[in-house]
Chains A and B, each alone.
Chain A
Amino acid sequence: MRLMNGYVKMRAARPASMLIAAVVALMALPACGQRNVVLNVDVLSYMDATETEFNFGPVPALPGGFTTGEQSVVPEADINLVGNFADIADIHTVNLRIAIASESYSGDGADTLRFYLSEPGTDPRTTPVVMTVPLTLTASVADTTVTEITGDERVLGLFSSQAMKLAITTSLRGPSNGDALSGRVTITGIDATVIAGRKAL
């Protein structure tokens, strides 16, 4: 029994792969069954190391503590992402994880770092703060603070886009008494994890 009359069928190379690269590699890559596409964005890498590390002080002791008000650390950093990503994947969640190393050389106090994200044409600081990280500074103590949040709809939309802007500010409060506050803050990691589901061609 022949399969069909006059039938000649030929294949070469690895036959299993005929359509998949076109489909999977570039367009339907998120369509891997029920599984996800995980986009890890090293946001910190878009900034120079000099922008994400700063010294402060001396801040003299005053009753109630001297406050610097909100000062810019990173005025605007361009974060370029994967173009068309939103076309090929449904972004479900975005998780932001920020790690900050702080050290007080002298004096006690507190700092608050704020992180803003916006569309490319918008000043990030005119948009709602995305994450607030309070730091407690204790004399001669080095500490690392790790904070995580899950982004809201606006942040989801930003990570769906081709690009966005980031701004970081600091608000320092000095000691009420004792030694003047001085030290250093280093942002050691800003990592975004985007979980996306399939979205066909």
Chain B
Amino acid sequence: MAMGGASLGGDAANVAYRAVPKAKGRSSGFTLPIGIAAVAANPPSFDPDDPEFNIFEIANLVQNPPWNLQLGSVEAPSNDVVIDIGRDHLAVDLGDIRSYLPGTGARISAMQSSPGLSLGFGPWFAGVAVVAQYENNLHLNEPLRLALEDAAPFLPQTEYAVIDSGQGQAVAEIQTGAAIPLMVNGKNPREKGGMGLYGGVRVSLLRGLAYGDMRNVAAFATADTLFGSTPVVLDYTGDFRDAGPAGGGWGQAFDVGAVLVAGGFEMGVGVNHIGAKVQWNGREQRTVRDSVTGEYNAQVVNDDVSFSTSLPIVLTANVTRPIAGVLLAADVTHSDGVTQGHVGLERWIGPIALRAGGRIDESKALQGAAGLGTRLGPVGLDAAVASHGQSFGAAERGLELAVGLSFYH
């Protein structure tokens, strides 16, 4: 993280790295959940009648999971919300809350793979991993966006709606494959004059573990005259589909990668989840408002629905090169239409590693990071402070502190 999230190469993103000799002084590791500990020590109130209740804080926890320690707090907007109504007139002034609205739409998606448990036999390997993927799309229709963001008056004979749709799935990957040197010059490709070209393929048998999707629509329609003969009533419908482990079917995926090491220069390209599809058997439900009682009820529409899902292809390219005692690393990832870039520097001075980096995030904003590391034998301790743009509704960057352990090769 101190290097801006830049990758030094790993076999999860690029299977060919299984065949690349480990570089001396490189490490792998994980960050400690110090942010979760802080939240657990001072949990937010979920009771709306509690004066400490802050829905913005809760939403921030959902949007920006506190694995790392967040250096700052989420302040709720302090303004009143003003609604003006009259016959044929409705206007809403949200004040500062406007900045929290999604504009033409907000999308969040993430995919995370667990570290794979694998065994190798020469170039061959087999293992198991779990991948979790989710995405959510929030959309205000244009009339509602204008009414809430621009405080434009509501119009007659118009539907105002907010649509929130999301999907999440967890899939087990039973993996096998091979990674081999394709071309090698010298004993160590990282030595001066050395060179190595490595390639790898990985085939995964996929098994669905859990799946859920939903589409929520909250809407109201205005009549010929606003507040004329009928009141404006907010309505809600929700469509849900889910499947558990028993409903998880089978599928397949294919990964391929290549790495070139020439002296100090290293470059890798990996493509994961090619053709990844999973079959499911699940249940469809719909939540609707009872027109008589006004209560919302969930109704099972189909308790044995079959469908298939896919995992987004992930493209990863990375380069590393030491220059004058400084290790320079950069990478670019692309998945599901989103491209992110990272660049980082590392310099060891005695037992202390100084690191800095930056990244272009998903909103195309520049974020920075800096940190320190030290090691005692094969184990290292790292700390980093990084900026991010993930704080809920915040116009300014957020800061987070990460602490992690590294294991040196």
Interface residues of A (CB under 8 A from B): 1-46, 78, 80-84, 162-163, 198-201
B53 CB to nearest A CB, Å: 7
Question: Could you tell me if B389 and A15 are in contact, using CB atoms closer than 8 angstroms?
Answer: yes
Look across to chain A and name the residue whose beta carbon is closest to the beta carbon of B5.
A3
Q: How many pairs of A and B residues are in contact by the CB < 8 Å rule?
A: 263
Question: Could you tell me if B59 and A33 are in contact, using CB atoms closer than 8 angstroms?
Answer: no
Question: Which residues of B in the span 1-20 have a Cβ within 8 Å of any Cβ on A?
Answer: 1-3, 5, 7, 10, 12-13
Which stretch of B75-83, B203-211, B298-306 is in the interface?
B75-83
Query: Once the chains are docked, how many angstroms separate the CA of A178 from the CA of B237?
Result: 69
**Residue tally, chain B, CB below 8 Å to A:** 101
Question: Could you tell me if A1 and B103 are in contact, using CB atoms closer than 8 angstroms?
Answer: no
Given A1-B1, A15-B390, A45-B89: A33 touches B76 (CB 8 Å cut-off): yes
Query: Once the chains are docked, how many angstroms separate the CA of A45 from the CA of B40?
Result: 52
The 9 closest A-B pairs by CB, nearest first: A200-B48, A33-B76, A42-B86, A6-B12, A83-B233, A11-B362, A17-B102, A45-B86, A6-B113
Query: Once the chains are docked, how many angstroms separate the CA of A81 from the CA of B101?
Result: 25
Residues of A within 8 A of B402 (CB): 1, 3
Question: Which residues of B in the span 343-397 have a Cβ within 8 Å of any Cβ on A?
Answer: 355, 361-363, 371, 373, 382, 384, 389-394
Q: Does B62 contact A (CB under 8 A)?
A: yes
Look across to chain B and name the residue whose beta carbon is closest to the beta carbon of A46.
B87
Query: Once the chains are docked, how many angstroms separate the CA of A23 from the CA of B104?
Result: 17
Question: Could you tell me if B76 and A14 are in contact, using CB atoms closer than 8 angstroms?
Answer: no
B202 CB to nearest A CB, Å: 12
Of the residues A5, A15, A17, A22, contact of B10 by C-beta under 8 Å: A5
Which stretch of B175-183, B188-196, B224-232 is in the interface?
B224-232
Residues of B within 8 A of A8 (CB): 13, 110-112, 314, 333, 335
Query: Once the chains are docked, how many angstroms separate the CA of A37 from the CA of B97?
Result: 12
Residues of A within 8 A of B361 (CB): 11
Given A4-B30, A45-B87, A80-B230: A16 touches B80 (CB 8 Å cut-off): no
